[in-house]
A and B are shown apart, each in its own frame.
Chain A
Amino acid sequence: MGRLGGLILHHRGAAVTMKVMKIVVCVKQIPDPAAPGSLDPSTHALKRDGKLILDDSDAYGVEMALQLVTAAGGGEVSIVSMAPNGETSGMRTALAMGAVRGVLVSDPALAGSDALTTARVLAAAVQKIGMPDLVIAATESTDGYTGTVPAQMAEVLGLPSVTFAKKVKVEGGVLKIDRQTEDGYDEVECPLPALVSVTAGVVEPRYPSFKGIMDAKKKEVITVTASDLGITPVGWSGAGQKVSSVTQAEARQAGQVIEDDGEAFNKIVAFLETLKVI
């Protein structure tokens, strides 16, 4: 049964047992993906010094968590995140959607951390909140997209994981998930506590309301360092990898660009003919 607590409510005189579901969602605050990315010329790390926003991919996990808590009839959603520079604006978006609190692991020493260190740090942050029934993450971040952190976190936490979930529900304390596969999808059942990574589009994220945005400013965000959590070494020194070289890829040459005068489709037909596709 995991850690689902029972809560007895008296509703119109009848005793109704409701489940309380505690969920932690891991989010990443990233530079605006619409702006071109750049590397720090000395460290070759992705520059993350400007304003950071909530990674779009994470809005799905936050929404999923809020819906699961509603379906369970009670509970709460907490947010954990890691950022070297103390930035919380992306976390505030998640709080404005309805999460109740956040833990930010922020430490200049975290810059350059590899995925394994990131997973260890986030796992420790989850444990700081208290082991939940469910941990939710996106399948990968939009900026770094290593794509291994969710399953690495599950291994660190000793949890089963179901990655690439495109449908998630909880029935009788058991997760029921449709998991994306190469040829379609698998139905997977998993006891709680567990970790799930959700694909984009799994639910429709809500827009924070004005009240939500105002409330979020007052919500608790605890900032801790990696060493507060007992995770050392982190950053470049903890990563089992180093930058070897950074080079420009061979650029693809642009071809012919024409304005459609109503007959441009003929150009496509002619091009397909020369390629012997038709």
Chain B
Amino acid sequence: MTINNVWVFAQGSNATVSSFTAELLTKARSLTDNVSAFVAGDGAALAESLGKFGAKKVYSTGDLGGRLAGVAAASAMAALISGGDKPDLILFPQNYDGRDTIARLSVKLGVTVLTNSVDIAVVGSEVVATTPIFGGNVLFATAFTGAGPHLASFRPKSFAAQESGGGAAEVAAVAVPDAGATGAAKVTAVHVEETSGPKLDEANVVVAGGRGLGESQNFAMVEELSKLLHGAPGASRAIVDAGWVPYSYQVGQTGKVVKPSVYIAAGISGATQHMVGMKGSKNIIAINKDKEAPIFAVADLGIVGDVHKVLPKLIEALKSRG
């Protein structure tokens, strides 16, 4: 089939689209000129920024008044589609609200979802999405077989964002239908966790710690090193599950995908789950006492050694440079 109309589930704040949204809009533009954004919130505030990345139109629900985005957005999208405004393909970010929305919408439309994708293309008569599996060693391409709209979600940083030079997107206000019992959850308070350094998935340097650190207090070395390098601290799933650091630190299949210039893995063995989230880093430095650890297979510089000895010396050396 040909793709003539693509929607992107778009997000942003302070009149600026998120980098994730910019990536998806750039990809959408490569498939068709007819790209629209859907914003579960104040889409008008983002119209200019969305237009810069090629959205011609933005569907805007306006303020959700505490309703969760997933149910509200899926209800509004389903209403547009049943009313005849039907895209061939909708691209979603693989994040909290993106996942809720694609899931709810798939049931409302009775169509499949392809998630965790890193690419999408029209191949012959089929729309095919690609997903890396087994830690990214194998690329699995899946074709949609049913009727559209096709629903696909993508990992962050799958595409390089490029501006199109377009003007502000035309704003189309959309109503959010009453979702009944399914819409009963309400946000009563919003908490923003202050981080002093750069965001984990945007940092130029990421220093991540794993179980090899031995105990939770040793994560302080990871934080100190990341600060010295103006980077962000990250973690393997093992130590997030153990409660040493919050989930927001997690790098991997079930956490964040990072592609920094430098990734330093300290005491991380390199489970498949973790590798998915960091293999795209430009340069990888690994410190682990087990020379058989899988992390060394992807490291540009591997140190077989004890993190408790290497990290303090590294920190001292960096400090002495001033």
- With beta carbons under 8 angstroms apart, the residue of B181, B248, B279, B298 that contacts A159 is B181
A267 partner residues in chain B, CB cutoff 8 A: 301, 303
What is the distance, in angstroms, from B202's C-beta to the closest C-beta of chain A? 11
Q: Which residue of A lies closest to B228 (CB)?
A: A278
List which B237-251 residues lie within 8 A (CB) of chain A: 237, 240-243, 247-248
Cβ-based interface call for B297 (8 A): yes
Minimal beta-carbon separation of B273 from chain A (angstroms):
7
Find out whether the CB atom of B140 lies under 8 angstroms from the CB atom of A44: yes
A187 touches B187 (CB 8 A): yes
Q: With a CB–CB cut-off of 8 A, which chain B residues contact A258?
A: 301-304
Whether A262 contacts B143 by the Cβ 8 Å rule is no
* Contact B104–A151 (Cβ < 8 Å): yes
Q: Is A1 an interface residue (CB 8 A)?
A: no
- A181 lies within 8 A of B262 (CB): no
Cβ of A188 under 8 Å from chain B: yes
CA distance A277 to B314 in the complex (A): 14
- Is A105 in the interface zone, CB < 8 Å from B? no
When C-beta atoms are compared, the residue in chain B nearest to A175 turns out to be B185
B22 to chain A, nearest CB (A): 15
Does B189 sit at the interface, judged by CB under 8 A?
yes
A8 within 8 A of B: no
Of B115, B193, B283, B291, which one neighbours A147 at CB under 8 angstroms? B115
Given contacts A200-B240, A277-B229, contact A249 B192 (CB under 8 A): no
The residue on A at minimum CB distance from B305 is A260
Chain B residues within an 8 Å CB radius of A80: none
Residues from chain B with a CB closer than 8 A to the CB of A190 are: 184-186
Q: Which residues of chain B have C-beta atoms less than 8 A from A33's C-beta? A: 271-273
Contact status B254-A255, CB under 8 Å: no
The chain A residue sitting closest to B123, CB to CB, is: A244
CB-defined contacts of A189 to chain B, threshold 8 Å? 185-186, 188
B181, A160: Cβ atoms closer than 8 Å: yes
Taking residues whose C-beta sits less than 8 angstroms from the other chain, chain A's interface range is: 35 or more
Chain B residues with CB under 8 A of A254: 296-299, 302
- Cβ–Cβ contact B123 & A249, under 8 A: no
Query: How many residues on the B side are at the interface (Cβ–Cβ under 8 A)?
Result: 93
B192: chain A residues within 8 A (beta carbon):
183-184
**How far in angstroms is the closest Cβ of chain A from B17?**
13
Contact A201 B113 (CB under 8 A): no
The answer to whether B145 touches A268 (Cβ under 8 A) is no
Of all chain A residues, the one with the shortest Cβ separation from B289 is A260
- Measured in the bound complex, the distance between the Cα atoms of B186 and A249 in whole Å is 43
Structural contact, A152 and B116, CB atoms closer than 8 A: no
Which residue of A37, A159, A201 has the most chain B CB atoms within 10 A of its CB atom? A201
Q: In the bound complex, do residue B321 and residue A278 qualify as a contact, i.e. CB atoms below 8 Å apart?
A: yes
Q: Mark the stretch among B24-32, B37-45, B82-90, B94-102 that contacts chain A.
A: B94-102
B171-222 interface with A by 8 A CB criterion:
180-193, 204-205
- A251 CA / B133 CA spacing, docked (Å): 13
Provide the bound-state CA to CA distance between A139 and B255, in Å.
11
Q: What chain A residues lie within 8 Å of B165 (beta carbons)?
A: none
A-chain residues with CB within 8 Å of residue B303 when the two chains form the complex: 257-258, 260, 264, 267-268
28 A–B contacts from the bound complex (CB under 8 Å): A37-B134, A116-B107, A145-B116, A148-B102, A155-B103, A155-B107, A160-B184, A181-B96, A184-B190, A186-B187, A186-B191, A187-B187, A240-B146, A242-B143, A244-B126, A245-B141, A248-B137, A249-B138, A255-B299, A260-B304, A260-B310, A264-B310, A265-B310, A267-B303, A269-B314, A271-B285, A275-B261, A277-B205
Q: What 4 pairs across the A-B complex have the smallest Cβ distances?
A: A260-B305, A240-B112, A151-B103, A240-B146
